[in-house]
A and B are shown apart, each in its own frame.
Chain A
Amino acid sequence: MPDQTLVEVAGLSKRFGDVEVLKHVDLAVRAGEKLAVIGPSGSGKTTLLRCIAHLEKPSAGHVTIAGERVGSKLADGRVVEMSDREIARIRTGIGMVFQRFNLFPHLTALENILLGPLKVLRMPREQAEPIALGLLAKVGLAHKRDAYPERLSGGQQQRVAIARSLAMQPKLMLFDEATSALDPELVGEVLNVIRQLAREGMTMLIVTHEMQFAEDVADRIIVMDHGSIVDEGPPHELFRSPSHPRTQAFLRAVLERQAMATSSAA
């Protein structure tokens, strides 16, 4: 079934104290789909991603991945909390790439990638190492296998972080502003790795400020504002002829900022 839903978000709300960051969000992502999430800062994009990974506990609603509820389950007709172990098992199927990379600083690039396969999947080292080395080569960093994160550039760290996620063979990859913390000249190398993953058919949710990239790589784009999805559609429609006023305003602001950046750089 080509249109199989991999991720389903139903009535998802999240509040931090008095602030409602997500307001009853519904969303379905098909297996193999590349979904870009755009919108102004504070619109709830990152929180949506974090709720899908269950790094945040939803205040209401729920997330289903491959037919399985994340964080809670039905037992005897009642909804009960999942144990730490059950949530961890579900998370092995989800890769997440963070804005701040979050590589493990006490481990080399190779060891960062190996940690999950060795400790979580309990793979023997002689089986895990070729896989890890293959992933390092895939992100173009085979020569950095023994480098510690502090010796790597931001772009290299982020590529190792992507390889670390891939080592768990996830069904779904979440990118949380993966290039926002990078110097402009390092953005391209990370985007290229993500593009390659997209071509290989990985299902992904990409929160990004790179509009050109979103347009290139995504099958569908959703626009968030104030905790709700205000617009969605295929990239060419959304960018060429944005119908929703919020989308128009957001795109205009982004274009102005880019124009300013270009003119000040010139």
Chain B
Amino acid sequence: MSPDPWIRAYDLLPEMLAVLLTGAVTTVEVTVGGFVLAVLFGLLFAVLQTVPARPARVLAGLYVEVFRGVPVLTQLFVLYFGLAEFGIRLHPLTAAVLGFGLNGGAYLTEVFRAGIGAVHQGQLEAAFMIGMTRLMGLRHVVLPQAIRVVLPPLGNFAVGLLKDTSLASAVAAPELAFRARTLVDQTYLSTQVYLLSAAIYLAMSLPLAHLTRRLEVRMGRGNP
């Protein structure tokens, strides 16, 4: 009969770690890609919501409702399997980054909108009176102030996103959760592999949460 699973796991540890860490790198890639895309979408649509023109605001509102109202897993399926029906074959990683970017962007649109709303209207007027357009005022005056307000929710979002990327395993993106399941299929060491992957997730999310808090304290304290 096979030896004790913990002893087997101990023997296999270097190989298992190598596989899982490869997955962790992919997890980080999807997280960073999704985060950057989500910030860009969030900024774009939050700014669109401040534009006087109605069509821009309607578009931004529609984006938020659609992408916030559909589970991210479903969005990943649509991007990966749904688009394939129409001949658009996305790489699993591309689908994952795009999916998390679009979904997160809807969430961050609301976050940024609140941040912009927290900056006093007089700030934009002062920007106008030194000859700035609305866009310049947002960029040079309002957003630098709004960023302080949105930093805590932005940090929460990043930590949440890091964990949510495990959903990308459903579209065969070879990230940490996907690697873990493959490893379990090969070794039948489910408890050990999943514990190990949990430890790796923690090792990534705890420093990220810590970093967020540090950043918050630094920006909250007086001025940069």
Using a CB–CB cutoff of 8 Å, the interface residues on chain A facing chain B are 53, 55, 84-85, 88-89, 91-92, 94-96, 98, 100, 102-106, 115-116, 119-121, 148, 150, 161, 164-165, 167-168
Closest A residue by C-beta to B219: A106
Give the top 10 A-B pairs by smallest Cβ distance, nearest first.
A92-B131, A116-B130, A102-B126, A102-B122, A120-B131, A96-B129, A148-B223, A88-B133, A84-B133, A106-B144
Q: Would you give the shortest CB distance from B47 to chain A, in whole angstroms?
A: 13
Chain B contact residues, majority secondary structure: helix
A91 contacts B131, C-beta separation under 8 Å: yes
Q: Number of B residues contacting the other chain (C-beta, 8 Å)?
A: 22
Cα A165 to Cα B130 in complex, Å, equals 7
Chain B, 82-126, contact with A by CB distance < 8 Å: what is the 0/1 string? 000000000000000000000000000000000000001011011
Q: Would you give the shortest CB distance from B78 to chain A, in whole angstroms?
A: 37
Q: Would you give the shortest CB distance from A246 to chain B, in whole angstroms?
A: 30
Q: Would you give the shortest CB distance from B193 to chain A, in whole angstroms?
A: 48
Cα A103 to Cα B122 in complex, Å, equals 9
Query: Is B159 an interface residue, CB under 8 A from the partner?
Result: no
Q: Which residues of chain A have C-beta atoms less than 8 A from B3's C-beta?
A: none
Q: Which residues of chain A have C-beta atoms less than 8 A from B129's C-beta?
A: 53, 55, 91, 94-96, 165
Query: Is B222 an interface residue, CB under 8 A from the partner?
Result: yes
A168 contacts B131, C-beta separation under 8 Å: yes
Q: Which residues of chain B have C-beta atoms less than 8 A from A161's C-beta?
A: 126
A106 contacts B134, C-beta separation under 8 Å: no
Closest A residue by C-beta to B131: A92
Chain B, 117-153, contact with A by CB distance < 8 Å: what is the 0/1 string? 0001011011111111111100011001100000000
A92 contacts B130, C-beta separation under 8 Å: yes
Q: From the candidates B122, B130, B144, B222, name the one contacting A168 in the complex (CB within 8 A).
A: B130
Q: Would you give the shortest CB distance from B120 to chain A, in whole angstroms?
A: 8
Most chain A CB within a 10 A radius of its CB, from B122, B129, B136: B129
A119 contacts B132, C-beta separation under 8 Å: yes
Q: Would you give the shortest CB distance from A2 to chain B, in whole angstroms?
A: 28
Using a CB–CB cutoff of 8 Å, the interface residues on chain B facing chain A are 120, 122-123, 125-136, 140-141, 144-145, 222-224
With A102-B123, A104-B126, A105-B145 in contact, is A116–B222 under 8 Å at CB?
A: no
Q: Would you give the shortest CB distance from B131 to chain A, in whole angstroms?
A: 3
Cα A148 to Cα B221 in complex, Å, equals 13
Cα A126 to Cα B125 in complex, Å, equals 27
5 extra A-B contacts, CB within 8 A, seeds A116-B130, A116-B131, A164-B130: A53-B129, A96-B129, A105-B223, A119-B132, A161-B126
Q: Would you give the shortest CB distance from B57 to chain A, in whole angstroms?
A: 16
With A89-B131, A102-B125, A164-B130 in contact, is A120–B136 under 8 Å at CB?
A: yes
A55 contacts B145, C-beta separation under 8 Å: no
B122 contacts A115, C-beta separation under 8 Å: no
Closest A residue by C-beta to B129: A96
Closest B residue by C-beta to A106: B144
Q: Which residues of chain B have C-beta atoms less than 8 A from A96's C-beta?
A: 125-126, 129
Cα A88 to Cα B127 in complex, Å, equals 10
Q: Which residues of chain A have C-beta atoms less than 8 A from B145's C-beta?
A: 104-106
Closest A residue by C-beta to B128: A91
Q: Which residues of chain A have C-beta atoms less than 8 A from B133's C-beta?
A: 84-85, 88
